[in-house]
Amino acid sequence: MDDVKKLLAEFADRAVDGIPPADVDADVARGRRALRRIRARRRVTGVLCIAAVSTAVLAVGNQIKWWGDGQAAVAGGPGEAASVAGAGEAGATTMRSASPAPTKSDDTISMYSTATVVSLGANQEPWNNISCTLAPQGWTPQRPLKADHVLLTPPNLRTSDLGPKGGLDLRTAPEATSLQATRVTEAGGKVFHLGTTDGRETGQVLLGQRWLVVQLPAGNAAWNDDLLRQFMASCSVN
Protein backbone atom coordinates (compact mmCIF):
# COMPACT_ATOMS: atom_id res chain seq x y z
CA MET A 1 0.00 0.00 0.00
CA ASP A 2 2.82 2.39 0.84
CA ASP A 3 4.46 1.68 -2.51
CA VAL A 4 1.24 2.61 -4.30
CA LYS A 5 0.93 5.89 -2.41
CA LYS A 6 4.53 6.71 -3.20
CA LEU A 7 4.06 6.06 -6.92
CA LEU A 8 0.93 8.25 -6.99
CA ALA A 9 2.72 11.09 -5.21
CA GLU A 10 5.61 10.96 -7.68
CA PHE A 11 3.18 10.96 -10.60
CA ALA A 12 1.40 13.99 -9.21
CA ASP A 13 4.65 15.89 -8.72
CA ARG A 14 5.71 15.24 -12.30
CA ALA A 15 2.32 16.39 -13.62
CA VAL A 16 2.43 19.64 -11.64
CA ASP A 17 5.98 20.34 -12.77
CA GLY A 18 4.78 20.32 -16.44
CA ILE A 19 2.07 23.05 -15.87
CA PRO A 20 3.18 26.69 -16.33
CA PRO A 21 2.71 28.99 -13.36
CA ALA A 22 -0.87 30.39 -13.11
CA ASP A 23 -1.51 34.02 -14.02
CA VAL A 24 -4.26 34.97 -11.58
CA ASP A 25 -4.67 38.55 -12.78
CA ALA A 26 -5.02 37.47 -16.40
CA ASP A 27 -7.61 34.87 -15.44
CA VAL A 28 -9.61 37.42 -13.47
CA ALA A 29 -9.50 39.88 -16.38
CA ARG A 30 -10.66 37.22 -18.82
CA GLY A 31 -13.50 36.25 -16.47
CA ARG A 32 -14.68 39.86 -16.17
CA ARG A 33 -14.65 40.32 -19.94
CA ALA A 34 -16.65 37.13 -20.32
CA LEU A 35 -19.23 38.37 -17.76
CA ARG A 36 -19.53 41.72 -19.57
CA ARG A 37 -20.13 39.94 -22.90
CA ILE A 38 -22.78 37.69 -21.29
CA ARG A 39 -24.57 40.71 -19.78
CA ALA A 40 -24.43 42.60 -23.08
CA ARG A 41 -25.91 39.62 -24.89
CA ARG A 42 -28.70 39.39 -22.32
CA ARG A 43 -29.56 43.07 -22.77
CA VAL A 44 -29.66 42.71 -26.55
CA THR A 45 -31.77 39.59 -26.28
CA GLY A 46 -34.22 41.35 -23.90
CA VAL A 47 -34.58 44.29 -26.27
CA LEU A 48 -35.22 41.97 -29.20
CA CYS A 49 -37.85 40.05 -27.22
CA ILE A 50 -39.64 43.25 -26.20
CA ALA A 51 -39.57 44.48 -29.81
CA ALA A 52 -40.98 41.17 -31.05
CA VAL A 53 -43.80 41.21 -28.46
CA SER A 54 -44.67 44.84 -29.30
CA THR A 55 -44.78 44.04 -33.00
CA ALA A 56 -47.08 41.07 -32.38
CA VAL A 57 -49.44 43.16 -30.21
CA LEU A 58 -49.62 45.91 -32.82
CA ALA A 59 -50.25 43.39 -35.58
CA VAL A 60 -53.06 41.70 -33.63
CA GLY A 61 -54.58 45.05 -32.69
CA ASN A 62 -54.62 46.22 -36.31
CA GLN A 63 -56.12 42.95 -37.43
CA ILE A 64 -58.89 43.18 -34.83
CA LYS A 65 -59.59 46.76 -35.83
CA TRP A 66 -59.57 45.75 -39.49
CA TRP A 67 -62.01 42.90 -38.96
CA GLY A 68 -64.16 44.87 -36.50
CA ASP A 69 -64.99 47.66 -38.94
CA GLY A 70 -67.78 45.58 -40.49
CA GLN A 71 -65.87 45.46 -43.83
CA ALA A 72 -64.60 42.64 -45.93
CA ALA A 73 -61.30 41.02 -44.95
CA VAL A 74 -59.52 42.07 -48.16
CA ALA A 75 -57.46 45.23 -48.42
CA GLY A 76 -57.45 47.25 -51.62
CA GLY A 77 -57.17 50.69 -53.11
CA PRO A 78 -59.50 53.65 -52.60
CA GLY A 79 -62.06 52.26 -55.06
CA GLU A 80 -62.12 48.92 -53.36
CA ALA A 81 -62.34 50.56 -49.93
CA ALA A 82 -65.43 52.49 -51.03
CA SER A 83 -67.08 49.36 -52.42
CA VAL A 84 -66.26 47.41 -49.28
CA ALA A 85 -67.70 50.17 -47.10
CA GLY A 86 -70.86 50.16 -49.22
CA ALA A 87 -71.13 46.41 -48.87
CA GLY A 88 -70.78 46.74 -45.09
CA GLU A 89 -73.53 49.38 -44.96
CA ALA A 90 -75.77 47.25 -47.19
CA GLY A 91 -75.24 44.23 -44.94
CA ALA A 92 -76.07 46.28 -41.86
CA THR A 93 -79.21 47.62 -43.57
CA THR A 94 -80.24 44.09 -44.49
CA MET A 95 -79.79 42.93 -40.91
CA ARG A 96 -81.80 45.88 -39.60
CA SER A 97 -84.61 45.28 -42.08
CA ALA A 98 -84.68 41.58 -41.25
CA SER A 99 -85.17 42.32 -37.56
CA PRO A 100 -88.84 42.27 -36.60
CA ALA A 101 -90.20 45.68 -35.74
CA PRO A 102 -91.85 46.02 -32.34
CA THR A 103 -95.62 45.84 -32.57
CA LYS A 104 -98.02 47.93 -30.56
CA SER A 105 -100.57 46.29 -28.34
CA ASP A 106 -104.12 46.09 -29.65
CA ASP A 107 -106.21 49.02 -28.45
CA THR A 108 -109.50 47.17 -28.90
CA ILE A 109 -111.22 45.38 -26.05
CA SER A 110 -110.22 41.74 -26.10
CA MET A 111 -110.87 39.33 -23.27
CA TYR A 112 -109.73 36.13 -24.89
CA SER A 113 -107.58 35.47 -27.93
CA THR A 114 -105.96 32.59 -29.76
CA ALA A 115 -102.56 32.34 -31.42
CA THR A 116 -104.27 32.73 -34.81
CA VAL A 117 -106.67 35.30 -36.26
CA VAL A 118 -109.80 34.87 -34.13
CA SER A 119 -110.15 36.91 -30.95
CA LEU A 120 -113.20 37.54 -28.77
CA GLY A 121 -114.20 41.06 -27.86
CA ALA A 122 -117.10 42.76 -26.14
CA ASN A 123 -120.40 42.63 -28.05
CA GLN A 124 -123.22 45.08 -27.39
CA GLU A 125 -125.52 43.98 -30.23
CA PRO A 126 -128.29 41.47 -29.48
CA TRP A 127 -129.17 38.97 -32.19
CA ASN A 128 -132.92 38.67 -31.66
CA ASN A 129 -133.47 35.69 -29.33
CA ILE A 130 -129.72 35.00 -29.04
CA SER A 131 -127.49 37.42 -27.14
CA CYS A 132 -123.75 37.04 -26.51
CA THR A 133 -121.62 39.44 -24.52
CA LEU A 134 -118.58 38.23 -26.46
CA ALA A 135 -118.20 37.90 -30.23
CA PRO A 136 -115.36 37.14 -32.64
CA GLN A 137 -113.93 40.48 -33.64
CA GLY A 138 -114.51 41.46 -37.24
CA TRP A 139 -117.23 38.85 -37.82
CA THR A 140 -120.54 40.36 -38.99
CA PRO A 141 -124.05 38.87 -38.74
CA GLN A 142 -125.93 38.08 -41.91
CA ARG A 143 -129.02 40.21 -42.35
CA PRO A 144 -131.91 40.10 -41.99
CA LEU A 145 -131.54 38.41 -38.61
CA LYS A 146 -133.73 35.41 -37.91
CA ALA A 147 -135.37 34.72 -34.58
CA ASP A 148 -133.52 31.51 -33.67
CA HIS A 149 -130.60 31.52 -36.11
CA VAL A 150 -127.60 33.79 -36.57
CA LEU A 151 -124.90 33.40 -39.23
CA LEU A 152 -121.64 35.29 -38.65
CA THR A 153 -119.42 35.98 -41.64
CA PRO A 154 -115.60 35.95 -41.25
CA PRO A 155 -113.70 39.19 -41.79
CA ASN A 156 -112.88 40.29 -45.34
CA LEU A 157 -115.49 37.94 -46.76
CA ARG A 158 -118.76 39.02 -48.31
CA THR A 159 -121.93 37.17 -47.43
CA SER A 160 -122.51 36.40 -51.10
CA ASP A 161 -119.15 34.62 -51.24
CA LEU A 162 -119.87 32.57 -48.13
CA GLY A 163 -120.26 28.86 -48.78
CA PRO A 164 -122.88 26.68 -47.12
CA LYS A 165 -120.44 25.77 -44.32
CA GLY A 166 -118.19 28.82 -44.33
CA GLY A 167 -119.79 30.87 -41.55
CA LEU A 168 -120.27 30.62 -37.80
CA ASP A 169 -123.77 29.23 -37.22
CA LEU A 170 -125.69 29.89 -34.01
CA ARG A 171 -129.14 28.44 -33.53
CA THR A 172 -131.44 27.34 -30.75
CA ALA A 173 -133.21 24.01 -30.55
CA PRO A 174 -135.55 22.33 -28.07
CA GLU A 175 -133.50 19.14 -28.15
CA ALA A 176 -129.79 18.44 -28.10
CA THR A 177 -128.04 17.60 -31.35
CA SER A 178 -126.35 14.23 -31.79
CA LEU A 179 -122.58 14.74 -31.82
CA GLN A 180 -119.69 12.51 -32.81
CA ALA A 181 -116.44 12.32 -30.84
CA THR A 182 -118.17 14.09 -27.97
CA ARG A 183 -116.16 15.95 -25.34
CA VAL A 184 -118.07 17.06 -22.23
CA THR A 185 -116.83 19.83 -19.91
CA GLU A 186 -118.53 21.51 -16.96
CA ALA A 187 -117.67 25.11 -16.09
CA GLY A 188 -119.57 27.93 -14.39
CA GLY A 189 -122.56 25.72 -13.67
CA LYS A 190 -122.97 24.86 -17.35
CA VAL A 191 -122.24 21.62 -19.18
CA PHE A 192 -120.64 22.08 -22.59
CA HIS A 193 -120.83 19.32 -25.19
CA LEU A 194 -118.27 19.52 -28.01
CA GLY A 195 -118.00 17.24 -31.01
CA THR A 196 -118.63 17.15 -34.75
CA THR A 197 -121.76 17.22 -36.89
CA ASP A 198 -121.84 17.12 -40.67
CA GLY A 199 -118.05 17.34 -40.73
CA ARG A 200 -117.95 20.58 -38.70
CA GLU A 201 -116.78 21.22 -35.16
CA THR A 202 -119.87 21.84 -33.06
CA GLY A 203 -120.60 22.90 -29.51
CA GLN A 204 -123.87 22.96 -27.59
CA VAL A 205 -125.01 23.99 -24.14
CA LEU A 206 -128.39 23.99 -22.42
CA LEU A 207 -129.50 27.54 -21.61
CA GLY A 208 -132.75 27.49 -19.72
CA GLN A 209 -135.23 25.40 -21.67
CA ARG A 210 -133.46 25.51 -25.05
CA TRP A 211 -130.15 24.35 -26.42
CA LEU A 212 -127.70 26.75 -28.03
CA VAL A 213 -125.92 24.99 -30.89
CA VAL A 214 -122.81 26.62 -32.44
CA GLN A 215 -121.19 25.24 -35.58
CA LEU A 216 -117.73 26.45 -36.59
CA PRO A 217 -116.78 27.09 -40.23
CA ALA A 218 -115.69 23.94 -42.03
CA GLY A 219 -111.92 23.45 -42.01
CA ASN A 220 -111.32 26.55 -39.88
CA ALA A 221 -108.29 26.00 -37.61
CA ALA A 222 -108.56 29.44 -35.99
CA TRP A 223 -110.92 28.12 -33.29
CA ASN A 224 -110.24 25.68 -30.48
CA ASP A 225 -112.26 24.07 -27.69
CA ASP A 226 -111.45 26.71 -25.08
CA LEU A 227 -112.38 29.57 -27.40
CA LEU A 228 -115.65 27.90 -28.36
CA ARG A 229 -116.58 27.27 -24.71
CA GLN A 230 -115.78 30.86 -23.76
CA PHE A 231 -117.93 32.14 -26.59
CA MET A 232 -120.91 29.92 -25.69
CA ALA A 233 -120.56 30.75 -21.98
CA SER A 234 -121.19 34.44 -22.80
CA CYS A 235 -124.45 33.69 -24.63
CA SER A 236 -128.04 33.60 -23.43
CA VAL A 237 -131.31 32.59 -25.05
CA ASN A 238 -134.45 34.66 -24.63
Q: Which tens digits make up the pLDDT trace of 79-109?
A: 444 444 454 554 444 444 444 444 443 433 3
Residues 158 and 85 in one domain: no
Residues 134 and 88 in one domain: no
Nearest to 206, CA basis, from 190, 184, 195: 190
Residues 133 and 225 in one domain: yes
- In a domain, residue 104? The reply is no
Q: What's the CA gap between 132 and 192, in Å, rounded?
A: 16
Binning the chain into helix, strand and coil, the percentages to the nearest 5 are 40, 25, 35
Q: CA dihedral defined by 222, 223, 226, 231, rounded to 10 degrees? A: 120
Q: What's the CA gap between 217 and 75, in Å, rounded?
A: 63
| Confidence check: pLDDT of 58 > 80 | no
52-55-56 Cα angle (round to 5): 85
pLDDT of res. 127: 92
95: Cα within 13 Å, side-chain hemisphere? 7
Mapping DSSP to helix (H, G, I), strand (E, B) and coil, where does residue 57 land? helix
Domain count, the chain: 2
Residues 208 and 164 in one domain: yes
pLDDT of res. 56: 65
pLDDT of res. 195: 97
Residues 117 and 232 in one domain: yes
The last residue of a domain, from among 98, 130, 151: 98
Percent of the chain whose pLDDT exceeds 90: 37
- In a domain, residue 67? The reply is yes
**Which is higher by pLDDT, 107 or 153?**
153
pLDDT class of 27 with cuts at 50, 70, 90? low
Q: What's the CA gap between 123 and 230, in Å, rounded?
A: 13
pLDDT class of 158 with cuts at 50, 70, 90? low
pLDDT of res. 50: 75
Residues 128 and 180 in one domain: yes
Residues 88 and 124 in one domain: no
Residues 155, 139: contact at Cβ < 8 Å? yes
Residues 233 and 116 in one domain: yes
Residues 92 and 118 in one domain: no
Residues 129 and 183 in one domain: yes
What is the overall mean pLDDT for the chain? 74
Domain containing 222: what range? 112-237
The last residue of a domain, from among 67, 98, 129: 98
